[in-house]
Amino acid sequence: MTTEAELDAMSPDRDRAEAVVPMPVQVSKPAEEGLVRRLGLFDMTMLVMGCVVGTGVFIIPSTVARQLRSPLLILSAWLTGGLISLIGAFIYAELSCRRPNVGGQYAYLREAYHPAVSFVYGWCLLLVVQTGAMAAVAIVSARYLNELTHLRAPEWLVAVCAISVLSFVNCLGVRTGSTTQDIFMLLKIAVILGIILCGFLLLTRSLPSLGLSTHAVPAHGKTNWELASAFGTAMVPILFSYGGWQMATFLGGEVRNPKTNLPRGLIIGVAGVIALYLGFNFVCIHAIGASGLATSIAPASDIMRRAIGDIGASVIALGITISGLGYLSQATLTSPRVYFAMARDGVFFRSVAWLHPRTRVPIVAIILQGFVAMVIAVSGKYDQILNYVMSVEMIFIVLTAGSVFWFRRTDREVGGSTDYAIPGHPVTTVFFMVGDIFVIIALFYKFPMNSLIGLGIALLGVPIYFLWKPEESPIQRLI
């Protein structure tokens, strides 16, 4: 998930996945609370990739190149970010094996820490994190759709229509919503692969040297410490570009053979994103050079315009529109399961836990999220809201990663399974947490007021939780 606050801002083979996360194939247990298990490995892989690949892939490479300038450093930074995300995918894969519950990350936080922690997470997700991102992406999609079709419709109106249509589609059933998401993701893959192919086949620029020569540092006037600092700064938008895969765990209650398909989908999906991102950045360097990438506002458009003229610019506009709609599709499919779980736990409106008797999806939760996203889109405050909550979202990811230590100890004490493997744990797990903590510190340093406001929004959820929780709380008596 990436936005303007982007800080100024395919797959490993099946045998390998089985070897790293060993587990027996099992018959699916009945889904929780009336949900239906209809999603398979392909659906989860496409969903993970769809949660990550958004409009930022067309923009962030320039931001990174402005920090690093060297082809080797640029590609190394993207590879490092991918490996960190892959470690995170392994962590969440283990969590999804141990607790394949509806709500995913919400459920892990609830069990490992306290229901108040998971409530605050859901609170932020509904009010600002997911809905703010949906509003921002919907406006961007509307902007490019208007450019493609030469419409003069207000952007907010097009955004509201897009959110409404995708909310309706997901109300038809998890299978319908997932198929729609699969189609969008396949189209996004096709667009990115098309750019990569055009960069290699249609452009005549010679391949750049990927080595960092001894003259590279003096040429840019940077010491080793300054290069290390630039590398760290570039990692912040890169990690945000790789973010979002954890949202696929929200559908844990609707996945067939969840202890097999959910972790494999996480690992294969993140690996696929790494391949796409590295390929895209490599072709950008190949086509316009590291310096050209650093000065470009829209590198994908520059590549396609050089390759096939103005038609190329239209292709990129179409690609960004598809990417935006794909993000809206996965957000509408995934996050309402968190609000459903909150309502089922008794800390939210009971009606949000209602499932349609035929489609077996939480329609009220889907409509609620869509409504909040539309309000934010119309208000025009989406970018400001996203700036507030990015640091808070990263805090929850760190807490979730840390929960694996608690789950391991608890399951071992009750004689539970211990055959799940995070490669290199605990070193890799701690490395992942430290990397995300670095991003949090960078956000608080660069955007102190926005980060503090975001923290305040999250902390506001604590007293709200204690208003909900008691059986006879004032809010509960009203509903």
Of 310, 247, 323, 281, the residue nearest 77 (C-alpha): 281
With respect to residue 51, please indicate whether it lies within any of the assigned structural domains.
yes
Dist. CA 349–CA 343, nearest whole Å = 6
Q: Is residue 265 part of a domain?
A: yes
Per-residue pLDDT of the chain (479 residues), as tens digits, is: 444 333 333 333 333 333 334 333 333 344 455 778 888 999 999 999 998 987 778 888 998 998 888 899 999 999 999 999 999 999 998 998 888 877 889 999 999 998 999 999 999 999 888 998 899 889 988 888 888 888 888 989 999 999 999 999 999 999 999 999 999 999 999 989 988 888 887 665 444 444 444 334 433 456 677 777 788 888 888 888 898 888 988 988 888 888 889 899 999 999 999 999 999 999 888 888 888 888 888 888 888 888 787 787 788 888 888 888 999 999 999 999 999 999 998 889 889 999 988 888 999 999 999 999 999 999 877 777 777 777 888 899 999 999 999 998 888 877 665 566 788 889 999 999 998 898 888 888 888 888 898 889 889 999 999 887 755 444 444 44
The confidence score (pLDDT) of residue 364 equals 95
H-helix segments, 335-447: 336-344, 363-379, 382-413, 427-446
Q: Residue 289: left if φ>0, alpha if ψ -120 to 50, beta else—which one? A: left
Domain of 214: which CATH number?
A: 1.20.1740.10
Q: How far apart are CA 195 and CA 189, in angstroms?
A: 10
Whether residue 46 is contained in a domain is answered as yes
Location of structure tokens 């968190």 = 338
Buried b (16+ CB within 10 A) or exposed e, 398-433: bbbbbbbeebbeeeeeeeeeeebebeebeebbeebb
Within a domain: 5? no
Question: Phi/psi at 255 (nearest 5 deg)?
Answer: -105, 130
Environment class of 224 (CB within 10 Å of its CB; exposed 0-12, middle 13-18, buried 19+): exposed
Is the CB of residue 74 less than 8 Å from the CB of residue 281?
yes
* Strand, helix or coil for residue 436: helix
Question: How many angstroms separate the CA atoms of 245 and 401, rounded?
Answer: 13
User: So what's the pLDDT on residue 404?
Assistant: 93
**Does the CA dihedral 136-142-143-144 come out positive or negative?**
positive
Residue 1 lies in a domain: no
Distance between CA 57 and CA 241 in Å, rounded? Answer: 7
Helix (H/G/I), strand (E/B), else coil: 341: helix
DSSP bridge partners of 255: 39
Domain-embedded: residue 4 = no
Residue 383 included in any domain = yes
Residue 344 domain boundaries: 14-478
pTM: 0.82
Report the domain count for the chain: 1
Q: Tell me if 169 is assigned to some domain.
A: yes
From 61, 60, 132, select the one nearest 387 (Cα to Cα).
132
| In the block, residue with structure tokens 């419409």 | 151
Tokens representing residue 427 in the block: 């070193």
Q: Which two tokens stand for residue 31?
A: 């889904």
Token pair belonging to 252: 């844990």
**Radius of gyration, alpha carbons of the chain:** 22
Residues in contact with 158: Cβ distance below 8 Å, sequence separation at least 6, in sequence order = 138, 141, 142, 145, 146, 151
d(CA 389, CA 73): 29
Helix, coil or strand: residue 255: strand
A 10 A CB-CB count for 201 gives 8
